[in-house]
Structure 1
Amino acid sequence: MSKLLIVDDDIHLRKLVLTYAELDGYQCEEAEDGKEAIEKINHTQFDIVILDVMMPGLDGFETLGEFRKESQVPVIMLTSRSEEYDKLLGFNLGADDYLLKPFSPKELMARIGAILKRCGNKSSDKLTFGELCISPGYRAVTVGKKEFNLPPKEFDLLLYLAQNERLVLSREQLLNKVWGYNYHGDTRTVDTHIKSLREHLGDYRKVIQTTWGVGYKFEYK
């Protein structure tokens, strides 16, 4: 089930979009301003965001700019302003689509569906192990509702291990596949990243197992 975040200071518009989205089978959360939206996007994985431009405090453009520092989640912007400059600004900041108010909720649902189809609905490539979820498309790792912001190489390392579940991988193989260079004699960087990754995973640290004298493997029991 795809998850939507609806961001608008107008509660009536939020409820209208929520009603149509839930009828179409989407799971929805709401935010009434940019600050709340940023907090939600930093702790929850969404498949698409519906974002109003004109909001008090952080407007939609500022909110989108903050989104793009951490996430590439698709965004549809809603606005009552038809100026070309506003549309170009939104697209330059990373908006995926633009819809003028007042709009047809059915058209919005159609645009949501088209974007998710075009993106391949990245939620479908998730790797799930109990409450641990790894999403390659969004480069996100969650345990339950908690999201971990892993450093890039730690994420790549975790993903490669998980994609090869139960297969013991040598340090040399991990260097070659994750770091992209051939083994030159020093594998300590792999051990260092494994140690840090385990610390980040907390209760799920045991999914990364050491095979002494060989390397590491990912195994969920």
Structure 2
Amino acid sequence: MNGKQTRVLVVDDEQSIRDFLTMGLEDEGYSVETAKDGLTALTKMHQNPFDIVILDVMMPGMDGYECCRMLKQKYEVVVIMLTAKDQAEDTVKGLKIGADDYLAKPFSFLELLTRMEIRLNSRFPQKNTVVRKGPFSVDDARHEIMFENEKLDLTPTEYKLMCLLFDNVNIVVSKETIMNQVWGYDYFSSSNVVEVYIRNLREKLQDTEHRYIKTERGFGYKLDVEG
């Protein structure tokens, strides 16, 4: 575990399904990309592998079964198949070619999240490792950060920012690096979005004296932790 987000690829030819899952999974703290067909999914997987693929069966061109077979041949990845089919033979076929799990549409988003967590924990047990530094601990599988044995109530963006500081503990992280790593693009130099989020984190840590999150003026911020 290194504090980085779990990467999810949603593969479905229906835009509404892709949008729905992207919104829901990002709200849960996952890093999400989408593909509308199997070939695009394989290309994206080759460019930057994902931890888990949510894969529709019924798609034009390469169907989900063939895409799953090819994914499992080349990558160590969790595959959960989605389909309108709920026949037992369809489930068996998907599992035989390597799918880790199978959900019939319509499905419960909460059930999908639960199955994702179970399969990820089983396939990547190292992601269960809780890393502790000083009074902080990060459990990336659960997307939780503890401070002095109390869970911090963080938004997904606050979680990403805190993980970045945690990964670079006692090292100054520049504002530019924070923008690129947390927001994924360059913000206008006049923007104070980083300062706003740093202030929010300090409030949640009750760090009024800036004991833990320190400002290095002209350079950036660092999480100051002993031990």
TM-score relative to the length of structure 2: 0.53
Deviation at 1:106, TM superposition (A): 1.6
Are positions 1:91 and 2:95 aligned together?
yes
Please give the alpha-carbon distance, in whole angstroms, between the structure 2 residues aligned to 1:101 and 1:73. Answer: 22
Instruction: Specify which of 66, 84, 90 is matched with residue 80 of structure 1.
Output: 84
Asked whether the 8 Å contact 1:6–1:29 carries over to 2, the reply is: yes
**Greater per-residue helix proportion:** 1
Q: Which residue matches 1:28? A: 32
- 2:52 corresponds, among 48, 54, 59, to 48
Structure of higher RCO (CA pairs closer than 8 Å, 6+ residues apart)? 2
Amino acid at match of 1:15: D
Looking at structure 2, the residues matched to 72 and 38 of structure 1 have their Cα atoms a distance apart, in angstroms, of 13
- Find the aligned partners of 1:72 and 1:57 in 2 and give their Cα distance: 24
User: Which one of 14, 24, 39 corresponds to residue 18 of structure 2?
Assistant: 14
AA aligned to 2:53 is V
Q: Is the Cα–Cα contact under 8 Å of residues 9 and 53 in structure 2 kept in the other structure? A: yes
Report what 1:5 is aligned to: 9
**Counterpart of 1:57?**
61
Distance 2:12 2:98 in 1: 18
Contact 1:20 1:109 in 2 (8 A): no
Equivalent pairs: percent with the same residue?
41
Is residue 2:70 matched to residue 1:66?
Answer: yes
Is the CA contact (8 Å cut-off) linking 1:3 and 1:26 kept in structure 2? yes
Find 1:116's aligned residue among 78, 103, 120.
120
Q: Give 4+ residue runs of structure 1 displaced > 4 Å after superposition.
A: 121-125
| Aligned-partner Cα distance in 2 for 1:73–1:113 | 13
User: Deviations for 1:126-153, whole angstroms, at most 9, x for unmatched residues?
Assistant: xxxxxxxxxxxxxxxxxxxxxxxxxxxx
Note if contact 2:121-2:128 (Cα within 8 Å) is conserved in structure 1.
no
Give the equivalent residue in structure 1 for 2:106.
102
Letter in structure 2 aligned against 1:77:
M
Amino acid at match of 1:13: I
Q: Shift in Å at residue 72 of structure 1?
A: 2.4
SS in 2 for 1:58: coil
**Which blocks of at least 5 consecutive residues in structure 2 are unaligned?**
130-227
Contact in 1 for aligned 2:121/2:127 (Cα 8 Å): no
Figure out how many residues of one structure are paired with residues of the other and give that number. 125
CA deviation profile, 1:167-205 (whole Å, cap 9, x unmatched):
xxxxxxxxxxxxxxxxxxxxxxxxxxxxxxxxxxxxxxx
- With normalisation by structure 1, the TM-score equals 0.54
Give the superposed CA RMSD. Answer: 1.6
TM-superposed CA distance for 1:5, in Å, is: 0.3
Alpha carbons of structure 1 residues 121 and 11: separation in structure 2 relative to 1, 3 Å = farther
The residue type equivalent to 1:83 in the other structure is Q
5+ long unaligned stretches in structure 1: 126-221
